[in-house]
Amino acid sequence: MIITKTPYRISFFGGGSDYPDWFNNFTGQVLSTTINKHIYITCRFLPKFFKHNYRIVWSKIENVKNLNEIQHESVKGLLKFYKISQGVEIHYDGDLPARSGMGSSSCFSVGLMKAINTLNGKKISSMELAKKAIFFEQKIMGETVGSQDQVSASIGGFNKIIFSKKNIKIKKIHNIKNIKKLERNLLLIYTGINRTANKIASAYASKLSSTKKEYITKICKHVSEGEKLLSSGKVDAFGRLLNEAWYLKKKLSKSITNSKIDQLYNLALRNGALGGKLLGAGGGGFLLLYMHPKFRKKFLKNNKKLINVPFNFTNEGAQVIFKDLKR
């Protein structure tokens, strides 16, 4: 039996430049961090005396004989990808809801890949794991997704991730004092709206590939500006830059936001927030706000229906937390 623990991520700037349509032509870059909220995957080979060959436990419980009967598309795809012929049991648990902008789909792929490799007695580096997850989601599953979530989930930490046609580079952000200052001023609110990133991204991915070079340059510029502001301790300016980037992103597609999200965001601005953004592709999920603690307490007290999710940044990527190959 193997249990893996894989972190969700928060992406601050650069989302959109991590799509192959961009970085196969221009350089893409993002600024992101993993947080102490995780997906846990338990995986083991099944003994042969069960009536079913595959048991998959997620929001449903699947007990099936044939691989093609599995309803969870990522599980079915990964088992085929790794050519698993022996029966397996897979349990999925997450600290946060799926389809909420936290990179859960890629987090799941990375966590299950880590578990399958370990179950097969194979070691895999963090970068190799990230690249395999990217290949699986984009090429095997044919999903319209970027490449940053897989890297963040695999490697962990606060990073500037640079994408090019030939390579992925990681620049670790090590200024602990300023990172902690930023962390204290962030608020994570669940909007209660679930959406599928693949569908939202599809609505504007074609625009991304046809948009002129100045647009992608502006997106990537925010990454460089954000990194500079963070290194110099100007975290309030970092928060205002989030606001600028959010308004820029909203212009891409009507599907990125809606009236409920806009009302919530504007309410936060009127109550002391300097900036923020919807995480992930947009359309719902989690709203990240930059708001000083002195404003945050009153804001949450006056809006008790809001679901606030406390969190901290973390440095760990996907890891095996339990391993017993005898079971």
Give the Cβ contact number of residue 12 at 10 Å: 26
| Distance separating alpha carbons of residues 61 and 208, to the nearest angstrom | 38
Q: What does the pLDDT read at residue 128?
A: 98
Q: How far apart are CA 138 and CA 285, in angstroms?
A: 22
Burial of 298 (0-12, 13-18, 19+ CB in 10 A): exposed
Helix (H, G, I), strand (E, B) or coil at 267: helix
Q: What is the pLDDT of residues 100-131, one digit of tens each?
A: 889 999 999 999 999 999 999 999 999 999 99
Supply the pLDDT for residue 306: 94
* Full set of structural domains in the chain with CATH: 2-173+314-323 (3.30.230.10), 176-312 (3.30.70.890)
> In Å, how far are 224, 225, 234, 236 from 228, measured between CA atoms?
6, 5, 9, 13
Contact 25, 213 (CB under 8 A): no
pLDDT at 210: 56
pLDDT value of position 154 = 98
AA letter at 240: R
Mean pLDDT by 10 residues, the chain (327 residues): 98 92 91 98 93 95 96 97 94 92 94 97 97 97 94 98 96 94 97 63 54 75 96 97 92 81 95 94 84 95 95 98 86
In DSSP terms, 94 is beta-bridged to: 39
CB atoms inside a 10 Å sphere around CB 172? 10
What is the predicted pLDDT for the residue at 199?
A: 54
One-character DSSP codes across 82-149: TT--S-EEEEEEESS-SSSSS-HHHHHHHHHHHHHHHHTT----HHHHHHHHHHIIIIIS-----SHH
Residue 319, beta-bridge partner list: 5
pLDDT at 321: 98
User: For residue 44, which amino acid is it?
Assistant: R
Q: Which residue in 196, 99, 117, 106 sits closest to 147, CA to CA? A: 106
CA distance 246 to 53: 47
Q: H helices within the chain, ranges in order? A: 20-23, 73-81, 104-119, 126-135, 148-155, 176-184, 197-210, 213-231, 235-250, 259-270, 293-302
Residues 164, 327 contacting (CB under 8 angstroms): no
pLDDT score at 282: 62
In this prediction, residue 107 carries a pLDDT of 97
d(Cα 231, Cα 116) in Å, to the nearest integer? 39
